Structure 1
Amino acid sequence: MDAAAASEFAALNSHLWRMYAMAPTKSQVLPLVRAQLDALTAGLRHPQNSAIHQRLCALSSELFQLTGEIFLDADRYTDAAHCYTLAATAGQEANSPDLWACALIRHAFIVLYERRFAEAAPLLELAGAVAERGDPTLSTRHWVAAVRAGACAGLGDLNACERALDAAAEVHQLRGPVHNGGWLRFDGSRLAEERGSCYVTLGRYDRAEEALGDALAGSPTARRKAGVLTDLAVIGVHRRDHDQVIAYANAAVATARRTGSGVVNHKLRGLQSYLDPLLVDQRIQRLDADISDIVGTHAA
C-alpha cells in the first residue's frame, strides 16, 4: 500500500465520522464502518514500510473508536469495550498519544455508565498521562478533565469535580483547530451540560439547573438535548414538581423512541430509579411504564 491509498482511507474515515454524527440511528453506519475496517486490517496483514504501517494503525484506531461508539449507543457495552481496547492498542502502535488517550477516555465512559466510579480513575489517570505526550494544540487533555469531573461527581467529591471542570474549561484558551470533528470532538461546547450533570449527581440542584439552562440555550443535538432534559426531570423529582418531571421526561422519551439511542436510554434508566416517591400520580405511572417499555426495564 502506498501513501495515496492510505490518504484515500483517511478521507473515507472522516466521511464515516460525519455520517455517524448526522445519522439519527447510529447503527445504520455500522456496515460501512465494518467494511472499511476489513480493508484496513487486510492491509495490516501484509508487510508495509514503517510509515505506512503506522498510518494504517492510526486509521484503524480511529475506526475501532467509531465502532465502539456505535456499540455504546446500542447498549452493547462489552463489544464497545473490546473495540476501545483494540483502538488503544492501535493508537499506541501508531505512536499517536492523542488517539491512544481518546480510546482510553471512551473506555472510561463505559465504566462510568455502569457507575463504577472508582474504577474509572486508573483509566483516566493513564489517559491524562498519555495525553500530556500528545499535541499541545489539541483538546485531548481537556477532554480527560471533563470526564474525570463526572467520576469525581459520582464519588461525591465536589471540590475535585470543580477543579476538573475548571481544567476542562481551559480548552477555550486554545487557538486554532483544537479537534478534528471525528475521533476528537471536544471543544468545550458541551461543558454546560456536563457541569449540570455533575451538579445533579452531587445534589446541587440550583447550580445544576442554571448550567442545564445554559446548555439548552446552546442548541445541542437531539441526543444531548435529551440528556439535558432528563437531568432537569431528575431535579423536578427532588423538588416534587410533577409537572416539571412530566414535561421534560416526556420530551426525552420521544427522542428515545425516535432514535433508539442507548445513550438516551441510559439517562432515562437513571431517571426511572428516582421515580418511586411520585408513583401515586397516574401521569408518573404512565411515564414509568413508557420508560420501561423503551429501555426494557421494570420499575422497582
Structure 2
Amino acid sequence: MGLKERRKARGYSQESFAVAVGVDRTTVGRWERGETEPQPPLRPRLAELLGLDLAGLGALLSPQAVTQEAEGHLDDLTSDSGDDMIRRDFLRILAVAGALPALPADGVLDEAADFRAMNEHLWQVYQLARSKRGVYPIVRDQLAALTDELKDGRDTTGLCMAAGDLFQLAGELAFDQNRYTDAAASYTLAASASREARHFDLWACALTRHAYVSLYERQWADAAGVLTAAERVARRGDSHLATRHWVAAVQAQAFAGMGNLDACERSLDEAERVLDLTADSVNGGWLRFDSSRLAEERGARYVELGRLDLAETALLGALQQAELGRGQSYRRRGAVLADLAIVGAKRRDLDEVAVYAREAMDLARRSGSGYVARKLRTLRVELRPVASDVRAAELDAELAELAA
C-alpha cells in the first residue's frame, strides 16, 4: 500500500489531507507520485494522520530504499552528485581517522596548520555567500585533501582538529538544505574527531549542532539529552570562549519546545553572560555565538512559548541592532522577519503578516536558505484559522510556491 492508498483508507481526500498537514494539495500530489518526500518536520503530523509510527511512515514513503537497505545495497553512496560525494568522503575519513590514534607520531606537521587556516577561510566564504549551496564544491575538495593527508600524516591531534572543524561546516551546508541525515552524519564525525583531538570547545560545538537536527524534528527531549552532554563537555573547555553560552542559548530552544518557561528563561540568562566576555571569545568559524544574536534568540523562544509581546519587543530589537551596524546575514534577518510574521499571524493582523512575510520570502529566495523556508512553513500553519480571508489565501499561495 502506498501513500495514496493509505490516505484514502483513512478517509481523506487529497485536499482535506493537505489542509490537515498544512501544505498545498499539489505538494501531496508530488509525494504520492514519488517526485518528492515530506521534510522531517512534517513527518510526525503525517504519521499521526495515517495511523503510523515514523518508521512505518518511512517505509510507506520509500519502500524501495527500505528494501535496498535490507538487502545491503549501497547504490545511493555511489552516485556522482555533489552531496553524495561529500557523504562518501565523510565515511572514508571516519574509517581512516578511527585508525590514526593508534599510530605513532613523528612530530608536528605544517599541513595541519594549513588545513585549519583554510577552514577558517571557508567559514568566511560560507558566511558571506548568499546561496550556501555554492560552497559545496570547495568543501568537497577540502575534504578530499584532508582524506589524503590523514592517510599519510602523523600529527593526529592537529589533523583531527582540522577534521572536527571541517565536518561542522559540511554539516551546516547540509542542514541549510534540509538534508538532515547528512547533517547528522557530519556532526557525528565532527564530535568524534574533536574528541580524539581532546579539543573540548570544538567537541561541544559539534554536539550542539547535532542537537539542532532533533530540534527541527521537534524531538525536544532528544535534543535536551545531546545538549546536556554538550554542556558537560563545554565546562572542560576554555572559559574565555563563548561555547557554554551558545550551548545555553540552544538549550533554551529545547525548553521552549517543551513549554518550560522557567527553564527557558534560566538558559537565556546564562546565554546573556556572553556579554561579560571579550571580543576574542569567538573565532568566526565553528564558534560564532556573540551578543549580536541575543535579541533574536530570545525573541524566537518567546514566539514558541506564545509570549507575543515579549517576542515582538526582542525581535524588533534584533532588527534595530542590525540597522545600527551590528550586522545580520540574509539567513538570520530572514528568520527574524519570519518570526515577526508568525507573531502577526497569531494576532490575526494580516497587514503586519504580509509586510514581514514577503520580505522574509524575498531573503529566502535570494539566499536559498532552507532555514528561513522552515520558519515560513510554520507561518502557513498559523494562517489556517484565517484561510478564508483573501489576503491570507494570497499569502499562503506565495508561501506554497516558495516551498515548492
Per-residue CA deviation, residues 51-83 of structure 1 (Å, 9 max, x unaligned), is: x21100000111100000001111111110100
- Aligned partner letter, 1:244: E
Distance across 2 between alignment mates of 1:184 and 1:286: 40
Aligned residue among 227, 230, 243 for 2:335:
227
Q: Which residue of 1 aligns with 2:235?
A: 132
Distance 2:153 2:265 in 1: 49
Is the radius of gyration larger for structure 1 or structure 2?
A: 2
Alignment RMSD (CA, Å) = 1.2
Correspondence for 1:60: 163
Query: Please, which of 232, 247, 264 is the counterpart of residue 372 of structure 2?
Result: 264
Q: Tell me which residue corresponds to 2:113.
A: 7
Contact 1:41 1:60 in 2 (8 A): no
Q: Which amino acid letter does the alignment assign opposite residue 141 of structure 2? A: A
- Counterpart position of 2:38: none
Give me the TM-score of the superposition, normalised by structure 1: 0.95
Q: Which residue of 2 aligns with 1:40?
A: 146
Unaligned runs of 5+ in 1: none
Matched-pair contact (CA < 8 Å) for 2:133–2:177: yes
Aligned to 1:254: 362
1:243 paired residue number:
351
Tell me by how many angstroms 1:230 deviates: 1.0
Q: Is the contact made by 2:127 and 2:329 (CA closer than 8 Å) also made in structure 1?
A: no
Equivalent residue, structure 2, for 1:187: 290
The separation in 2 between residues aligned to 1:92 and 1:285, in whole angstroms, is: 50
Identity across the alignment (%): 52
Letter in 1 for 2:175: L
Is the contact made by 1:268 and 1:291 (CA closer than 8 Å) also made in structure 2?
yes
CA positional deviation for 1:47: 4.9
1-side partners of 2:153 and 2:218: how far apart?
A: 43
Give deviations 1:4-34, integer Å, cap 9, x for gaps: 2222222211110000000000011111111
Are residues 1:30 and 2:133 paired?
Answer: no
SS at match of 1:181: coil
Q: Which residue of 2 aligns with 1:280?
A: 388
Letter in 1 for 2:238: D
Whole-Å separation in 2 of the counterparts to 1:153 and 1:180: 28
Find the residue that maps to 1:185 and give its secondary structure.
coil
Measured after TM superposition, the shift of residue 119 of structure 1 is 1.2
How much has 1:271 moved relative to structure 2? 1.0
Q: Whole-Å Cα distance in 1 between the matches of residues 345 and 136 of structure 2? A: 37
Q: Partners in 2 of 1:132 and 1:167 — Cα distance?
A: 13
Give yes or no for contact 1:68–1:79 (8 Å, CA) kept in 2.
yes
Q: 2:119 is aligned with what amino acid? A: N
Q: 1:209 aligns with which of 306, 312, 332?
A: 312
| Aligned with 1:157 (options 246, 257, 260) | 260
SS across alignment from 1:177: helix
The match for 1:91 among 167, 178, 194 is 194
Shift of 1:134: 0.6
SS of alignment partner, residue 93 of structure 1: helix
- Say whether 1:141 aligns with 2:247: no
Aligned mates of 2:114, 2:157 — CA distance in 1: 15
Amino acid at match of 1:30: Y
- SS of the aligned residue for 1:183 comes to coil
1:108 aligns with 2:234: no
Which residue identity does 2:291 align to in structure 1? Answer: G
Amino acid at match of 1:5: E
CA distance in 1, matches of 2:204, 2:222: 17
Give deviations 1:124-173, integer Å, cap 9, x for gaps.
Answer: 00000000011111010000000000111111011000000000000111
Instruction: Please tell me whether the aligned partners of residues 191 and 203 of structure 2 are also in contact (alpha carbons under 8 angstroms).
Output: yes
8 Å CA contact 1:275, 1:284 repeated in 2: yes
Instruction: For 2:191 and 2:116, locate their aligned partners in 1 and report how far apart those are by CA, in whole Å.
Output: 18
Report the AA paired with residue 223 of structure 1.
Answer: R
**Would the aligned equivalents of 1:236 and 1:245 in 2 still touch at CA under 8 Å?**
yes
Aligned length: 293
Native 8 Å contact 2:113 2:158 kept in 1: no
SS of the residue 2:152 aligns to: coil
Gaps of 5+ in 2: 1-106, 323-327
Q: Which amino acid aligns with 1:173?
A: D
Whether the 8 Å CA contact 1:102–1:183 is kept in 2: the answer is: yes
Task: State the 1:174 CA deviation.
Answer: 1.4
Give TM-score scaled by structure 2 length: 0.71
Aligned letter for 1:179? V
Once residues 377 and 203 of structure 2 are traced to their aligned partners in structure 1, the CA distance between those partners, rounded to angstroms, is: 31
